Structure 1
Amino acid sequence: MHIRPATHADSADIVILDDIASSGLASHVLKAGVREGKYDRPLEFGRDGYAFIDGPFSWKNVLIAETEDGVAGMSLSFELTGGPEDKGLSETVLEPLESLKSRDVGPRMIDSVAVYARFRGQGIGRALVEAEIARASGTSSIITDSANARALALYKSLGFEEQTRAPFIAFNDNRAAAHWVILMRPNLRSAPESAH
């Protein structure tokens, strides 16, 4: 497995993996393009968004984990500026997430981390988060939902600490989360190694 910067051609995998990372929230939000009659399916809208729109939610901010069998996972991150470019599409279910991000100006926001099911358990998610930490110039932050115990354990094992929570607005019937959780990790490159 190796990690590389994404290319324009990775946009279809990126939107699928973003939908996996968000437990379907991405396709829920992307239904707007279908309602407006511009696209037949939400993931088609998302693929074009990643492929053709510059800004934080672009293929240019994605790292791809690849094996000899192809794309295995991805991560998306960007520097939070506090400006409107930090936000994705406008949707009620996203408001708590946007509220968390607005309090977190400055750090590199790791917006999405996902691995296809058949590649899980091989350390790919950990490698992607470590690569994101390495490309941050300062602190890193990440958001997940309170029901995602596996992700919370991974992030905490990599030095992220919970900062605050916001209400989770249900967008489908199979989500058990009560909150979105934002975690932050200081840049430890200049700090002395601590014993574990």
Structure 2
Amino acid sequence: MVEGIRLRPAERKDAAELAILLEIASHGLSSWNWYIGVLRDETDTAFEYGLLQMLDESHLGGWKESIIAEKDGEIAGLSMGWPIVPSTLEEEPAHPVYEPLLVLQKQVIGNWFIDSLGVYRRFRGLGIGRRLLENEIARGGDRPVSLITESYNERAQALYKGAGFREVARREAVPLHENGTRHEWVLFTREVG
């Protein structure tokens, strides 16, 4: 185990760093989503809207659901997770891009769901992602744990498979733009025990 790595619950003051790490973890999906703040003339940039989303305690996906990894006192990564509740079955996607993700989430009602796991590039290869993943598994308690990743993200898939996750379903992703990367969303689940 690498020395100097510490996990802690995120704090409100971490919101800007969380927005950056969430963008890394989502490979651009977050900033694409956050651009709505600019279109609505609520913010000047997508990241400003992302910061506001991280601060907003009225919905999932903010600082309260996040864990921070630090390396020698510097923020190095994050994970974000929560249980998939039965009301998810009634949700409709806000945009067609989210439809395949929601379809996959609806297959794992009751599971702990790892929404995001991201590590700054300069801190990769130190076991930080693995520590965050293990922590999310522990946060899940006696529930199965699920997550969704891109079909092209082989490094992440290797990490998940090494931690006992197995692929359970795939859905074709809706590209963010005309020249977007074509891929599938892959649902992984780790059963209890």
Q: What's the TM-score once normalised by structure 1's chain length?
A: 0.89
What do residues 127-173 of structure 1 show as CA deviations (whole Å, max 9, x unaligned)? 10000001112110010000000000100000000010011111157
Structure 2 Cα separation of the partners of residues 76 and 85 of structure 1: 21
Q: Superposition pairs for residues 141-160 of structure 1, below 5 Å? A: 141-160=146-165
Identity among equivalent positions (%) equals 37
- Per the TM alignment, residue 94 of structure 1 is displaced from its structure 2 partner at its CA by 1.3
Match of 2:42 among 35, 38, 45: 38
- Per the TM alignment, residue 91 of structure 1 is displaced from its structure 2 partner at its CA by 2.2
Counterpart in the other structure of 2:56? 52
Gapped regions of structure 1 (runs ≥ 5): 189-196
- Per the TM alignment, residue 55 of structure 1 is displaced from its structure 2 partner at its CA by 2.9
Gapped regions of structure 2 (runs ≥ 5): none
Q: Does the CA-based 8 Å contact 1:160-1:183 persist in structure 2?
A: yes
- 3-state SS of paired residue (1:54): coil
Match of 1:102 among 106, 131, 136: 106
Structure 1 vs Structure 2 CA RMSD: 2.0
Q: Does the CA-based 8 Å contact 1:17-1:73 persist in structure 2?
A: yes
Counterpart in the other structure of 2:121? 117
Tell me, yes or no, if structure 1 residue 62 matches structure 2 residue 66.
yes
Tell me, yes or no, if structure 1 residue 139 matches structure 2 residue 177.
no
Q: Does the CA-based 8 Å contact 1:29-1:89 persist in structure 2?
A: no
Q: Does the CA-based 8 Å contact 1:57-1:88 persist in structure 2?
A: no
Mean CA deviation greater in 145-154 or 163-172: 163-172
Tell me, yes or no, if structure 1 residue 183 matches structure 2 residue 188.
yes
Structure 2 Cα separation of the partners of residues 3 and 85 of structure 1: 32
- Per the TM alignment, residue 187 of structure 1 is displaced from its structure 2 partner at its CA by 1.7
What do residues 51-96 of structure 1 show as CA deviations (whole Å, max 9, x unaligned)? 1233321211101001225100000000000325997982221111
For the structure 1 residues 167 and 110, does the alpha-carbon distance in structure 2 shift closer, same or farther, using more than 3 Å as the test? Answer: same
Q: Does the CA-based 8 Å contact 2:93-2:102 persist in structure 1?
A: no
Counterpart in the other structure of 1:164? 169
For the structure 1 residues 87 and 56, does the alpha-carbon distance in structure 2 shift closer, same or farther, using more than 3 Å as the test? Answer: farther
One-letter code aligned to 2:57 = I
Q: Does the CA-based 8 Å contact 1:80-1:86 persist in structure 2?
A: no
Counterpart in the other structure of 1:7? 11
Structure 2 Cα separation of the partners of residues 116 and 172 of structure 1: 25
Mean CA deviation greater in 1-10 or 78-87: 78-87
- 3-state SS of paired residue (1:56): coil
Structure 1 Cα separation of the partners of residues 29 and 178 of structure 2: 12
